Structure 1
Amino acid sequence: MDEFRWLKGLGRREDAGIMLLCFHYAGGSVSMFRNWAHLLPPSIEPVAVQLPGRADRFMETPHTSMTTLVDELIEVLEPILDRPFACFGASMGARVSRALAHALRDRQLPLPRKLYVSSSTAPVLEEVVRGWNESDEELVAYMRELGGTPREVFDDDDLLSALLPILRADLTVLATHAYHPSPPLNVPVHAFAGRDDIEASPSLMAPWSEETVAGFHLDVLDTGHFLNEVGLQRVIDVISRDLG
């Protein structure tokens, strides 16, 4: 049953040659990937990872530690790692996918064929994580600054009060996960940076190159922190080309 809580199939594809694990941004859910099965070719099966505390897992306590998050996730993933897979992570999801890859290597388990990361400052820079230990008012101001949150969320006190603890917990996962230098992964990394992203600009994403010895590419997109339609299409095109 843990598999069904954590992993959300977006369209089962028995003949797919590779699984794409998709990790959402802080405060988000698997809904950001709801159209990916229609956008990707049949040879790729997208599977979205739903973290506790949101959507159908809203009764569960969200994680505040990267270590416990990844440990639980590996328990769920290990039985299905006999098939080829890659990872895509947006913002927080990029850091989760990196931590997962390192933990898999430490346990001598199969590694992803490729890491795709978007809207996330390179870990080696050890940038300060904003919002996690600030007041609700400051956290809301941070959300407005980043953009991407629908206006109706800010206009609905109940929606906003439900979202803030989840977002704060997710940001705590990032803020309390200290960077420890370790050998780069033997996994190619493709990074996507928004030209207008105030949180993870292209220059702040470029040092993701230090995470791999297997090849790195940085795509600069005409978007902000959250992918617009054109940016999303570029991500889909790259993944389809690489894995399809």
Structure 2
Amino acid sequence: MPESSAHLRAWLRRFSPAGDAMSLLVCLPHAGGSASFFFPLARALAPEVDVLAVQYPGRQDRHHEPSIDNLPELADRITDAVRLVDDRPLALFGHSMGALLAYEVALRLAADGLPAPSRLFVSGRRAPSRYRDDRFHLSSDGDVLAHLRRLGGPGSTALDDPEIRAMALPLIRNDYRAVETYRHDPSAVLDCPVTVLTGDRDALVSPEEAHAWAGHTTGPTDVVTLPGGHFYLADQNEQVVALLRRRLAAVTAQQTPRLR
């Protein structure tokens, strides 16, 4: 297998192939998350949208690989894979940590001279310019577990099992380190449309922090608030799917193929 094909297969998962779709949506999961988090979204958007989900190293079928605790390095590796996908109009969707990664991937694609994503969807994450003094990667296991239970994410109850907890906590702590030590480049600005999605009870994203994404692009920005907490999209799947379908349908006809 050519090296480029192997890299693509390592990083991207296609759960519901939609080769005839007019656009691609690359999805990036949250801290501690995996590509399968986006299986329901991929199934719901097919065949209109071809969804590719990023699989970070250290989880599921990549459990044997060392995880990466540096967000810019992780963004570099993901961008290397995204460059290899075909030339249909490309959009990015990231949730929580994945939102920061999607933003950094979009910046790297622009730096390579590739067209901007047709749209950047950032979910459950404050703007890169808005920092909090979070240090969960340095906290005790008990504090990390309490934080995860407050967020109520998928699989959080599984952490009650000691064996699962022993496997999951180092990976979660790794991802938190990547996010909490990340600092954006103030001179780097996108030129694509940005849609910000947030839950109305998400303690990790205030309205001001969500609207601050507008300062990271010269394109239009809209903020959509849905009922729920940090993982609102698990309960609001139909609304999220409908929004993505509308936004992507509106821009697909205006896009030209990406050139490599």
TM-score (norm 1): 0.94
Q: Is the alpha carbon distance of 1:151 and 1:226 closer, same or farther for their aligned partners in structure 2, counting shifts above 3 Å?
A: closer
Choose the corresponding residue for 1:23, options 14, 20, 28.
28
| d(CA) in 2 for partners of 1:43, 1:63 | 33
Deviation for aligned residue 1:223: 0.7
Deviation for aligned residue 1:230: 4.7
Checking the alignment, whether the CA contact within 8 Å between 1:41 and 1:240 is kept in structure 2 is no
Choose the corresponding residue for 2:10, options 1, 5, 26.
5
Say if 2:61 is the partner of 1:52: no
Give the match for residue 143 of structure 1.
Answer: 148
Structure 2, gaps ≥5 residues long: 1-5, 250-260
Q: Is the alpha carbon distance of 1:48 and 1:66 closer, same or farther for their aligned partners in structure 2, counting shifts above 3 Å?
A: same
Q: Which amino acid aligns with 1:237?
A: A
Structure 1, gaps ≥5 residues long: none
| d(CA) in 1 for partners of 2:76, 2:187 | 18
State the number of aligned residues.
244
Give the match for residue 119 of structure 1.
Answer: 124
Identity of aligned residues (%): 32
Alignment of 1:97-136 (within 5 A): 97-136=102-141
Q: Is the alpha carbon distance of 1:16 and 1:169 closer, same or farther for their aligned partners in structure 2, counting shifts above 3 Å?
A: same
Q: CA RMSD in A?
A: 1.6
Say if 2:90 is the partner of 1:85: yes
SS of residue matched to 1:127: coil
Give the match for residue 233 of structure 1.
Answer: 238
Q: Is the alpha carbon distance of 1:81 and 1:172 closer, same or farther for their aligned partners in structure 2, counting shifts above 3 Å?
A: farther
| d(CA) in 2 for partners of 1:26, 1:157 | 20
TM-score (norm 2): 0.88
**For structure 1, which segment, 18-27 or 105-114, has the greater mean C-alpha deviation from structure 2 after superposition?**
105-114
Deviation for aligned residue 1:83: 2.3
Deviation for aligned residue 1:127: 2.2
Q: Is the alpha carbon distance of 1:230 and 1:157 closer, same or farther for their aligned partners in structure 2, counting shifts above 3 Å?
A: closer
SS of residue matched to 1:124: coil
